[in-house]
Structures are given as structure tokens and as C-alpha cells.
Amino acid sequence: MLAKLPKTLLYLLGGLLLANLLQSAFTPLIFDEAYYWYYAQEMAWGYFDHPPMVALLIKLSSFFFDGELGVRFMSCILSVGTFLVLWQLIDNPKKKDYVPQFFVLVFSMTLLNAYGFFTLPDTPLIFFTAMFLWVYKKFILEPTWPISIALGVVMAALMYSKYHAILVIVFVLLSNLKLLRNKYAWLAVAVSLVCYLPHLLWLYQHDFISVKYHLYERPNRAYDFNDFTVAFFVNLVAIFGLTFPWIYKSLFKTKVNDKFTRALIFLTYGIILFFFVSSFNRRVQTQWIIAISIPLAIISFNYMLQNKEARKWIYRMGLVNIAIILYLRLGLIYKPLIPFYYETHGNKELAQEIKSKIGDMPVVFENSYRDAPMYAFYTGSTTYSLNNIVYRKNQYSIDDSESKVQHKKVLYVSGYLTNEDLSFTRSDGAVYKGKYIDDFESFRKLKCVIEEEHIVLDPNTEHVLKVYNPYPTDIELKKIKFGLAYLNPYKQVQDILPLKPETTDQNALYLKARDTTVFTFKLPVPKTKNPNYFKVGISENGLYLGLNGDNIKLD
């Protein structure tokens, strides 16, 4: 395939690869990358927030390089691969005369550019969306057993990248409902399900914790027209930058004359419509709509080949986009170039400063799945994110990281401290406060279970609370205290009140190891008016209440 590519394209892709490799090597990690690097330290078929593809990319990268490039190498490879697949998806024979225009169009797309070196779940999502369309195009031309199997494997790879991938598959299916009567299509579905079975099994074993979090447990806030819906349209502009008028014009002007073009149109409009509707419920993040970059790259370049005016302006504005993007990319490395803080700035230096004060001592960060892995990456020290009742669960809630800091002297870093032993200031002005704990002990895996799905808010009614202790040792009841948080309709904590449940066994002194202890309790009178949910948490050894119970609906 490479032998048939224009030399100009090969030179440009070689330059792209080199630029992304250099950028990867010299740009400090962003927080999400550090979190996904943490994923990759213990490979699994699933993680709290995402499927495992991003962890696999990082693990593969680490076989080739150390440091930041050991996190990002495969992203650089996939970026070039995405360009190659997009090129193959253009059938117009005139394309060889406009190689620079093609490169400028794709390279000027802001998030496609950024994910050329950042390693995030959207990185493989972009590549496998392109691959899916490439294989699907072959499938609709001549479905065969091998192509069906390939289509199924790619669909599974899409779903292993990010759960949003289901939108890509569904909207392409909706563009061609005759696939429902196609035996080759059903073979592809069967293959994809077989390939995806390990992750489905992982979800089952973990009580579908990822699905529950994304669909039900994720905090939200009241609808804000500007910050939700208007921001959604701003995102539609932001992913293309200054070329957006001509890119969307190409979408409006494109006529459906074959099944593949129909798939591109359905995919683009489908994702836009889905997240437009979603914007009335929550704030849509820019990267959630990134998949439209792939079909629109194909649609736009085909339009450019037919329309001289569009070709001229996309090329001109694309070059301006690229100039701005390259300047900002340099600013990710060298802070004085940009007049604002970005998360690549200062984290490495801060981690090394803290380590110079405390040595190899483990660090427990309260409520920070971002800081814990960042510190671990740049120091090699043991870290743990202790999540409390006003925060959210994350990978640290379900793995064995808690066990690695038990009964050790740690630096405990928290925003709730009033008397600290150490303090440090981050580049964005945030202050770290830490205190030493000589014998750290936490029980964040204690599970509070209330079997009633709906409870009437009545302080006089008694309810049953079951506490499961998954640890191999008994836990003294005197070490723990219970509390209850009331939440608003958006699952934001409003009140935190003490709770004094009573055991059915009045002589109980312990939560027995790998056993369930039954308590009864009454709801405390809330301070907030008409709360919508509540959840129970446990405080151990004077620490802040943990995330031990699920949200329970109040009637």
C-alpha cells in the first residue's frame, strides 16, 4: 500500500510522525494521561471509567520507550495510521493532485492534531472509527466471510476504545437497515460480541460499575442554556477551528448517492443530534463529539476536489489553524510562550520537590485520581487516592492500591487540613497541604448496603443497613463512625450529618472479616430542603467519610 502512495504524502506523514514523537518526548503528561498510565500498571479487561484499549496502548508504548514517550508512542503510530486510512477512503482519482490540501485539512483539525500525541481513550476511538469505515466500505461493495470477520474485530476494537463507540456503530447501521437481513452482517456482530466477551465478563464481575457510574451515578448540575447548549455549538466550531464554515458547508452540500456516503452523513448528523439532545441534560465535553471528525474529513476533502473556492479557503484557513496549533504545542513544553496555565506545566517539578522533602515515603492524596498517578509517574513512589463522600469513585476505588499504603508512614495530602506539616504551591496557584501519618489505616472497601431502592423521608421510620467487610481481618467498631449525605436532584452533596446505626447484636465489637453485619438506623432530619437522594458513608480513624454506599432515592 505504501508503494502506491504519493511521495509528497509519504514525506508529510514522515514529518508528522517525527513531530509527534518529539512532542511526545518533551511534553510532560497531562493528568488524564497519568491516570491511564496508572491503568496500564496492572493490565485488566476493564477499568472503572473506560474499557482497556487506552491502557493497552500505553503498555505497548512502554515496551519501546521510557518516560513520556513510553506513554505516547503508540498514539503517534495511530495518528499516522488514521491519515493513511482516510486517504484510502477517498476514491476520487484527482486526490493525488491535492496531497498538501488533504494533509492541511486533516492536520488542522484541532483534536485530531492533539490526539496525534496525547494518549487518551479518544486516540484509539479516532483510529478505529476510520478503520471501521474502511472495512465497512469494502463490506457493502462485496460482503465475504473474511471481510465480515474483519468488520466484527474492528467493531470490538472500537468498543474496547470508548463506550461512545456504540454511537458510531448504531448510526452506520441506521443508514443501511437492510443489514438486518444480511447473514454476513450478523456474522460481524457475532464476531464482535465474542471478541468483546472478556470485557462484558469483567463488567459482570464488577457489578457493571462503569455503566452505573456513567449512566446513573455521575454528578450533574442544573441546566444552564449558555454553559450546556450554547457550549455544545461552540464545541462544534472548536473541533475544526477556522475551517469550520467550509467543513459544515461541505456537509450540507453533499448529496447521498451511495451507501457509503449515506453512512458518513448518518454518522455525522446522528452524533451531532444525539449530543445536541444531551446538551439539555448535561454539559457536553468537546471530545465526546470527536468521532464526527472522521466522516467530515472524507466529506470535506471530496467537496474540496469538486469546489475550487472551498479548496482555496480550507487550505488558507487550515494553514492559519496549523500555525496557531503548532505555537500552542510549543507552549505545552515551554510555559512562557502561552499566557495561561496548562496542566503540562509544573507537575513534574512539583513532584520532584515533594520527593526531595519526603524521600520514598508513600503519599495518600485525598480526592485526587489525577494527582496520585501524576506523582507516581514522576517519582516512582507509591501513591493512593483516598476518595471521600463529596468526591466520586474511580479506579483507586476498585483495585488493590489501598493495601499498598496500609500501616505505613505516609504523607497525607488533603484540602481539608487545618494543621499541616508541609505545603506546596502548584503552577496554577493551588496549594498542597500535607501531614504525616505514622500508621495509616483506611477501610474504603467497606460496603454499605440498603436494599430498599426508594425510601420515604421519615425520621421516625427504622431501616436496615448491611455492612459487608471484604477485608481478611476483623475491624473494630470503635475505629469507625457512620455518616449520611443528602443529595439534590443532580446528585450533588448538600448536607453531611452523623449517623448512629445500632447493631442487631448489641454485644458486637467487630465487623467480622468477609462477613456482613446488620444494623438498623433512622434518617436524621436534613438541613437542606427536600433532598432527593441520600447515601451512607463510613469514617475510619478520624478520616473524612468514604464512598461506601450507593445513592438511594428519597420519596
pLDDT tens per residue, range 162-180: 999 999 999 999 999 999 9
pLDDT tens figures, 396-406: 999 999 999 99
Distance in Å from the first CA to the final CA of the chain? 63
pLDDT score of 12: 98
Residue 402: CB atoms within 10 A of its CB come to 20
pLDDT tens figures, 142-167: 999 999 999 999 999 999 999 999 99
507 pLDDT band, cuts 50/70/90, is confident
Percent of the chain with pLDDT over 90: 92
Structure-block grid coordinates of residue 79:
495518528
Cell 500501616 belongs to residue: 407
pLDDT score of 415: 82
Is a pLDDT exceeding 70 seen at residue 389?
A: yes
Domain boundaries defined on the chain: 2-335, 347-437, 447-554
Q: How many residues does the chain have?
A: 555
Is a pLDDT exceeding 80 seen at residue 219?
A: no
Q: What's the CA gap between 172 and 399, in Å, rounded?
A: 36
Cβ 56 vs Cβ 262: under 8 Å: no
- Cβ-Cβ contacts under 8 Å for 262 (sequence gap 6 or more): 175, 176, 256
pLDDT score of 439: 97
301 pLDDT band, cuts 50/70/90, is very high
Is a pLDDT exceeding 80 seen at residue 517?
A: yes
The sheet carrying 383-386 orders its strands as: 383-386, 363-366, 410-413, 431-437, 422-425
Q: What's the CA gap between 245 and 233, in Å, rounded?
A: 13
pLDDT score of 1: 56
Pick the closest to residue 120 from 345, 282, 290, 367 (CA basis): 290
Q: What's the CA gap between 482 and 546, in Å, rounded?
A: 9
Question: Would you give the DSSP letter of residue 285?
Answer: P
Q: What is the mean pLDDT of residues 211-217?
A: 87
Pick the closest to residue 294 from 128, 466, 142 (CA basis): 128
Q: What's the CA gap between 242 and 245, in Å, rounded?
A: 8
Instruction: Given CATH 2.60.40, say whether it is the number of domain 447-554.
Output: yes
Is a pLDDT exceeding 60 seen at residue 382?
A: yes
Percent of the chain with pLDDT over 70: 99
Is a pLDDT exceeding 90 seen at residue 201?
A: yes
Name the more confident of 103 and 506.
103
Question: Would you give the DSSP letter of residue 214?
Answer: I
pLDDT score of 345: 94
Residue 42 has, within 13 A of its CA and on its CB side, a CA count of 10
pLDDT score of 435: 96
pTM over cut 0.85: yes
pLDDT tens figures, 445-501: 999 999 998 899 999 999 999 999 999 999 999 999 999 999 999 999 999 999 999
pLDDT score of 203: 97
Pick the closest to residue 314 from 237, 247, 405, 379 (CA basis): 247
pLDDT score of 431: 87
Instruction: Look at the alpha carbons of 337, 340, 343, 349 in this order and tell me if their dihedral is positive or negative.
Output: positive
pLDDT tens figures, 402-431: 999 999 999 999 988 888 999 988 888 888
409: left (phi over 0), alpha (psi -120 to 50) or beta: beta
- Cβ-Cβ contacts under 8 Å for 18 (sequence gap 6 or more): none
3 pLDDT band, cuts 50/70/90, is low
- Cβ-Cβ contacts under 8 Å for 180 (sequence gap 6 or more): none
Q: What's the CA gap between 38 and 60, in Å, rounded?
A: 14
- Cβ-Cβ contacts under 8 Å for 208 (sequence gap 6 or more): none
pLDDT tens figures, 321-350: 999 999 999 999 999 999 888 999 999 999
Within 414-500, strands assigned E span 422-425, 431-437, 447-449, 454-455, 462-469, 475-476, 480-487, 493-499
